[in-house]
Amino acid sequence: MARVVVTGVGVVTGPVTGGREHVRAFLASSGAPVVSVRSSALDGLVDETEARRLSRICQLSVAAARIALADAGLGPGAGLGLVIGAEFGDVRSTIAFVDGYLRRGPGGLSALLFPNTVMNTMAAATAIAVTARELSLTLNAPTVAGELAIARATAAVRAGRTDAVLAGGVDEFDSILAELLADGGAPSETRGEGAGFVLLESLDVAEARGARVLGEIAGASWRAIRARPYGVGRDAASRAIAAALDEAGATSGDVGRVWVSASGDGPRDRWEQAILTEALRPARPPQTALASRTGRHAGLGALAVAAAALDDASGGPALVHAVARGGTHVALVVRNRGRATHDV
């Protein structure tokens, strides 16, 4: 089984766009949440044809993927895989496609928009942009899609199915979606938008090319906890945290910090606390909720993993934790650079 290291990060979010240095500066700063990505964030990251042909969410994904690859010191490469998490996909294009028909009949249908109605459109566009020719997956999940994608990608690298994977997620948020969600009785929470990727490589491959390692994903696990669809569960026993710690050769007492998925959805946030209390007790390591700065979106998984990898202050490995209404539940154990390379 290969050890899986993080060798690059790229994020395009409201408060921060860039690679590891930008993420580091963001973590050292503070401020109110910035939930929307400014259009200037994409300047220089998509070419003229991409700006014409790709929908905004695809552009967010392409831009973050390019930043992550550059951060990792890699060019576009044939040996690359891609795992993208998304909760909503390209809602704007889907509505525009449908409205074209409703307003003008079959002649109003757009062939260019149709592929965007399928949620793998971001993966397709990104795979073309960075020449990712191994597996390219789109995982759709409530709230925690980015963390789930990173867990799945970690398993693929660990098992040797692929040497390098861009893993993370993307979501777009706008007024139409906000209205649909509110109408549908979704819980109020701080939602944001953006894209984020980490580049995961096997330690051997990373060392052979002299990569600058940010940290290691030493354990990754995902399970469902019993809950009704879109509801929170009563059960707080986590098999994912236990499995991820076990894989990392760590115990609950070792965890130095928890990067939680809390985003202002009261019942879900309380459920997450109950799960963490039960899994880690008697320890109560400090926590950080990145959504308080960015709003919750599928790009956050990569930001949390990079933040955990860059965190030199907390002793012990970090736990990146995420749980969604309905019970999808992800645990990632991340060691920072010093610890990742310490016992090589």
One symbol per residue from 207 to 246: x for binding other proteins (CB under 8 A), - otherwise; what is it? --------------xxxxxxxxxx----------------
Lookup: tokens for 261 = 């998925």
**Out of 180, 208, 313, 344, which residue is the one contacting other proteins (CB under 8 A)?**
180
Sorted by sequence, the CB contacts under 8 Å of residue 189 that are 6+ apart come out as: 263, 264, 265, 268, 291, 296
Give the three-class secondary structure for 70.
Answer: helix
Binding status of residue 332 toward other proteins by CB under 8 A:
no
Kindly identify the residues of this chain, within the stretch 95-114, that bind other proteins according to CB under 8 A: 97-99, 101-102, 104-112, 114
**Out of 21, 43, 75, 161, which residue is the one contacting other proteins (CB under 8 A)?**
161
Q: What is the DSSP letter of 187?
A: P
Return phi, psi of residue 159, to 5°: -80, -5
Rounded least distance, CB 234 to other proteins, Å: 13
Binding status of residue 336 toward other proteins by CB under 8 A:
no
Kindly identify the residues of this chain, within the stretch 39-68, that bind other proteins according to CB under 8 A: 49, 52-53
Binding status of residue 188 toward other proteins by CB under 8 A:
no
For other proteins, which is the closer residue by CB, 79 or 264?
A: 79
**Out of 34, 115, 174, 278, which residue is the one contacting other proteins (CB under 8 A)?**
115
Rounded least distance, CB 68 to other proteins, Å: 16
CA dihedral 11, 16, 18, 24 (to 10 degrees): -100
Rounded least distance, CB 155 to other proteins, Å: 6
Question: Of 79-87, 195-203, 290-298, 307-315, which segment contacts other proteins by CB under 8 A?
Answer: 79-87
Q: What is the DSSP track for 1-55?
A: ---EEEEEEEEEESS-EESHHHHHHHHH---S---S--GGGGTTTS-HHHHHHS-
**Out of 6, 64, 67, 124, which residue is the one contacting other proteins (CB under 8 A)?**
124
Number of residues in contact with other proteins under rule CB under 8 A: 75
**Contact assessment for residue 6 and residue 71, using Cβ atoms and an 8 Å cutoff:** no
The strand pairing partners of 334, in sequence order, are 217, 318
CA–CA separation, 222 vs 240, rounded Å? Answer: 5
Rounded least distance, CB 185 to other proteins, Å: 7
CA–CA separation, 67 vs 23, rounded Å? Answer: 12
